[in-house]
Amino acid sequence: MSPLPPGEEPPDLEREKRAGREHMEEIARGADRIASLILFDDLPDVDLSIEIERLRERAEELFPGTGWLFEILYEARFRRLREQWGRRQEGE
């Protein structure tokens, strides 16, 4: 196998990086969709919680072992939006 030109990566690594970016974008789109539901929809809190749980499960499927990161990035964001816009989780 011949060496790669400077700055070029092996095809497998490039493919993995592309897939990782696509997975991150998928989770970000899902989070944006949930944020929109919180802000602009009258969806019951239980349904919002279900949507958040689905996104958390998908993130865990795509990025195993990163549940703590989902909590830091997205759960906190959703909580903040609910508090700021008067949408509290049931039981609060």
Per the structure, the complete domain to which residue 63 belongs is given by 11-84
Residue 41 is assigned to a structural domain of this protein: yes
pLDDT at 5: 66
pLDDT digits (tens, 9 = 90+) for 11-38: 688 888 898 899 999 999 999 999 999 9
pLDDT digits (tens, 9 = 90+) for 35-80: 999 999 888 989 999 999 999 999 999 999 999 999 999 999 999 9
Residue 91 is assigned to a structural domain of this protein: no
Residue 5 is assigned to a structural domain of this protein: no
The string of DSSP codes covering 31-68 is HHHHHHHHHH----HHHHHHHHHHHHHHHHHHSTT-HH
Residue 25 is assigned to a structural domain of this protein: yes
Helix H or strand E encompassing 16: helix 11-40
Q: How many separate domains does the chain show? A: 1
Q: What is the pTM of this model?
A: 0.77
Contact 81, 87 (CB under 8 A): yes
Give which of 41, 47, 66 is closest to 56, Cα–Cα: 66
